[in-house]
Amino acid sequence: MTPNRRNFISSFSLAVLGLSGCLGVNAGGTTDITISNEASNTVTVHIQVTQLSNEELLLDETATIDVDTTEEYEEVVSGSQVEVILSTEDGLENTYEWSDGESDAEGLHITVNDESITFSSFVD
């Protein structure tokens, strides 16, 4: 059976559909750090990530995050041990020591609510 244009197009469409989602922005690994705003209002946060081995500042950013949304940071840590400090303009602050791991499959989720900042690491 000789392939015709109709068979080729339908096969090609199925192949492309099968790959959708695999080539996203985060195809290189897990997002290193995600900050979620679960507070009742928009929050402005300041995050600092410092490598513990040499005190190098890897990230120093301020972001305004709307309610029920997130701010993500890619490729910040790259396998090193770090100290993460997150503070809000309302006076909340918390510190966490964390390592991304060599496989780039680990991430850090930071949750900001009205009364606290919590950290939880995860493996994707």
- The residue range of the domain holding 52 is 26-123
In a domain, residue 99? The reply is: yes
Confidence of residue 18 (pLDDT cuts 50, 70, 90): very low
Number of domains in the chain: 1
Q: Which two tokens stand for residue 119?
A: 């950290």
Is residue 13 included in any domain, yes or no? no
User: Does a structural domain hold residue 18?
Assistant: no
CATH number (domain holding residue 114): 2.60.40.180
The whole-chain average pLDDT of the chain stands at 82
> How much is the pLDDT for 30?
63
- Residues 11 and 86: their CA atoms lie apart, in Å, by 49
Amino acid at 73: Y
Predicted TM-score of the model (pTM): 0.74
Whether 4 is covered by a domain: the verdict is: no
Neighbours of 14 (CB within 10 A): 10
Task: Report if residue 9 sits inside a domain.
Answer: no
7 pLDDT exceeds 50? yes
Look at residue 8 and tell me if it is in a domain.
no
Q: Does residue 112 surpass a pLDDT of 90?
A: yes
Type of residue at 124: D
